[in-house]
Structure 1
Amino acid sequence: MRLRLVGGRVGVGALRALLDVAQRWGDGRVHLTGRANVQLRGLPRDPRAAREQPVVHADVASEILATGLVPSRTHELVRNVMVSPQTGSFGGRADLRPVADRLDRALCADPRLAALPGRFLLVLDDGRGDLVDRSCDLGLVALDDRDGQLRVGDAWGPVVPLARAHENLVDHAREFLRVRGQGPDAPWHVAELPLPLARTEPPDPRVPEPCPPLGFGPVAGGRHVAVPGAALDHEVLREAVGTGTPASSVVVTPWRGLLVPDGATDARGAVGVGA
């Protein structure tokens, strides 16, 4: 079972609860993915479900839902939103956490968008260039603290205000559903459409060059902790968040690590700007 973490952000308490579920029902670990999500393995299936339907046991599902990590059962498969892991913590041209939150709410608010393919991916780069070369279906790159340029498949879209970027992305997602059609041969990705999804634009001169992946160890604004085998257990999490006054939230990164931010946390449990 894979759980989507918008921008990789997750409370340490919720992660511990998920590890408890993995210990009781699965292989005892929470596995990190290349899309900054998490998954559990070895879970028992519901014996009442048809053999071809991989439905997890109802008791397990209830415990996973109790962690609070599934805000929408209908839209869980399409909440694939990657964000620069350090955004709002250190560097970057803009804090894209509010953009990601608005985008997540907008996706879940539209029943039609539950039909997006499960591999449909949205990628938000805060202008530092860490995700600007990551392939996506739809995306956004911050050009400054007010504007960003959309990515539409392999092409560039218009420059839009960051405050309205979630609306533009959701409109493009709706258009993708309209033009892709239905059936087993319907395209899964924007780049697979026979015609461009929207009018393309040249990349803005402010689009950053790609930068290398975030290294492991001490980094600006915190520590990027390597997770052996991308398989997290209670001991690795305890060592990562520290003792004394441990971090209340971490960020699962696209490089299958944990970013443990420094500084105080805000009311949402995320790291405050200026940490």
Structure 2
Amino acid sequence: MLAAMPQPPSAASRDEPVIRERGDACPGALRLHAADDGFLARVRLPGGLLTVPQASALALAADRFGDGHLELTSRGNVQLRGLADGCGAALAELLDAAGLLPAPSHERVRNIVATPMSGLEGPGRPDALAWASEFDRLLCESPWAAALSGRFLFAFDDGRGDVAALAPDVTVLGRSAGRALVRLGRAADAVELAGQDAPRAALLAARYFLDAAAEAGTQAWRVSELPAEHTLNEREFTRRLATAGIAAATARAVGRPYAAPPRPGVAPGQDPATLCVLPPLGRLGSAQWRVLVQVAEEGSGSLRVTPWRTVILPAAGIHGAARIEDAGLVLAPDSPWETVTACTGRPGCAKSLADVRADARAVADRARGPLPVHWSGCERRCGHPRGTAWVDLVATGTGYRIAAPGRPVRHDARPPELAAALADARTDPDVVKK
């Protein structure tokens, strides 16, 4: 049978639309978030792309202003934590000098993911990262786009179906013969157009959403939050594209390809080799980060941060692998950390009921299984997986509640039994990954 995925509590149904009286408070590089361990900055990396100088600047920022660590997010961005009060202006100056703030007014809306291995596996698929880069330029040049929320997500997928599975608000999906599909939210249908028009079409989709949200008057942040009478539809979108000089046609009941994320290790069939590096729980010290930067400098001169909290180093060669593993980072596809994620937890988050990262480390080797697992310190489930079935651990204050696809919920599993309970939950034979 197809087991249901655990999901965070739904914000609202279409019959009860989200209605807000305040703006989006999502953190950015300029709008810092006050956490229990200091201030937090989230630096958007469209497509996950970083040059070596930019990556070096992030390490410097972590050391100079923060706690000396960098965190990878589920949207391929980087967070700096433990920032000192009053460092905002100096941090912004450092990031701007590195080219990480090309449009300060838009820095929180540059939520753009792209197929991280695009262009590295030979011809046959479009360059999704080139699409993402061009789209980012267009987005930053559009003053109205600054009205998007910091949660609105764009995905540029080369056709394999990896980032398209992350529940984007606007998805560009590559097709053969230089064509592309643009999907609005989770609609069954899409529009088909020339691949060269895809970045501009994605921008027009964002404008269509803002117009619909303004008409609804509910301050919707995402496409899924629009009330039913204001749902985006392909007919109106096609009309808007035609007005802008983009030829498009409706594609009915478009399939949803799915590809698993790149696995840690050396990508096969490439010379020099591309490396996929996994930092346990998506957190690196600045010294570990600088090892990646050094290996990248000897390779392509760039890094790609993925939405699965890994880092792709194109053309790095296997010579850097030993240094990466010596730094405590994972390059083995059978690591217990490959499918384990966690929110910040204590002590960084005041809402958390547990030090989830410490608890995850304590049982990682004894709680393996094919299903991903996400540890959450509270009901918000920050950073939980998308696009696949997963085991949901939520701290209760006295233990953890474990929800696994196809199984009854287990309440208050405590440390003495937690490893066995989690291993059991992760190996449900009836689960079919989505």
What TM-score results when the alignment is normalised by the length of structure 2? 0.55
What's the counterpart of residue 34 of structure 1?
A: 74
For residue 314 of structure 2, the aligned residue among 243, 252, 261 is 261
Identity among equivalent positions (%) equals 34
Q: Does 1:164 align with 2:197?
A: yes
| Alpha-carbon separation, structure 1, partners of 2:311 and 2:300 | 12
Equivalent AA in structure 2 for residue 165 of structure 1: A
Q: By how many angstroms is 1:243 displaced?
A: 8.4
What's the counterpart of residue 20 of structure 1?
A: 60
Deviates more, 1:34-43 or 1:216-225: 216-225
Question: Moved runs in structure 1, 4+ residues, more than 6 A?
Answer: none
Deviates more, 1:61-70 or 1:30-39: 61-70
Q: Does 1:214 align with 2:254?
A: no
Spell out, residue by residue over 1:185-219, the C-alpha distance to the aligned partner (whole angstroms, 9 max, x if none). Answer: 41111122123212274244xx5621222111111
What's the counterpart of residue 355 of structure 2?
A: none
Equivalent AA in structure 1 for residue 260 of structure 2: P
**Residues 45 and 165 of structure 1: is their aligned pair in 2 closer, same or farther, counting only changes over 3 Å?**
same
| Alpha-carbon separation, structure 1, partners of 2:222 and 2:300 | 37
What's the counterpart of residue 127 of structure 1?
A: 159
| Alpha-carbon separation, structure 2, partners of 1:253 and 1:79 | 15
SS where residue 90 of structure 1 aligns?
A: coil
What's the counterpart of residue 252 of structure 2?
A: 202
Equivalent AA in structure 2 for residue 227 of structure 1: P
**Residues 243 and 263 of structure 1: is their aligned pair in 2 closer, same or farther, counting only changes over 3 Å?**
closer
SS where residue 232 of structure 2 aligns?
A: coil
Q: By how many angstroms is 1:38 displaced?
A: 0.7
SS where residue 182 of structure 2 aligns?
A: strand
Aligned residues of 2:180 and 2:192 also touching (Cα < 8 A): yes
Aligned residues of 2:296 and 2:314 also touching (Cα < 8 A): no
SS where residue 250 of structure 1 aligns?
A: strand
Structure 1 or 2, whichever has the larger Rg, is 2
Equivalent AA in structure 2 for residue 35 of structure 1: R
**Residues 243 and 22 of structure 1: is their aligned pair in 2 closer, same or farther, counting only changes over 3 Å?**
closer
**Residues 26 and 167 of structure 1: is their aligned pair in 2 closer, same or farther, counting only changes over 3 Å?**
same
Give matches, 1:94-133, under 5 Å.
94-133=126-165
What's the counterpart of residue 295 of structure 2?
A: 242
Deviates more, 1:190-199 or 1:166-175: 190-199
SS where residue 105 of structure 2 aligns?
A: coil
Equivalent AA in structure 1 for residue 288 of structure 2: V
What TM-score results when the alignment is normalised by the length of structure 1? 0.84
SS where residue 187 of structure 1 aligns?
A: coil
Spell out, residue by residue over 1:131-167, the C-alpha distance to the aligned partner (whole angstroms, 9 max, x if none). Answer: 2322011011101251111110111321111101111
| Alpha-carbon separation, structure 2, partners of 1:255 and 1:243 | 19
Q: Which runs of 5+ in 1 are unaligned?
A: 47-55, 265-275
Q: Does 1:174 align with 2:231?
A: no
Q: By how many angstroms is 1:237 displaced?
A: 3.0
Deviates more, 1:151-160 or 1:87-96: 87-96
What's the counterpart of residue 224 of structure 1?
A: 276
What's the counterpart of residue 223 of structure 2?
A: 190
| Alpha-carbon separation, structure 1, partners of 2:280 and 2:301 | 22
Q: Which runs of 5+ in 2 are unaligned?
A: 1-40, 236-250, 318-434
Aligned residues of 1:16 and 1:234 also touching (Cα < 8 A): no
SS where residue 95 of structure 2 aligns?
A: helix
Q: By how many angstroms is 1:97 displaced?
A: 2.2
| Alpha-carbon separation, structure 1, partners of 2:296 and 2:115 | 27
Q: By how many angstroms is 1:246 displaced?
A: 4.2
Deviates more, 1:90-99 or 1:1-10: 90-99
Higher relative contact order (CA 8 A, sep 6+): 1
SS where residue 181 of structure 1 aligns?
A: helix
Q: By how many angstroms is 1:61 displaced?
A: 2.2
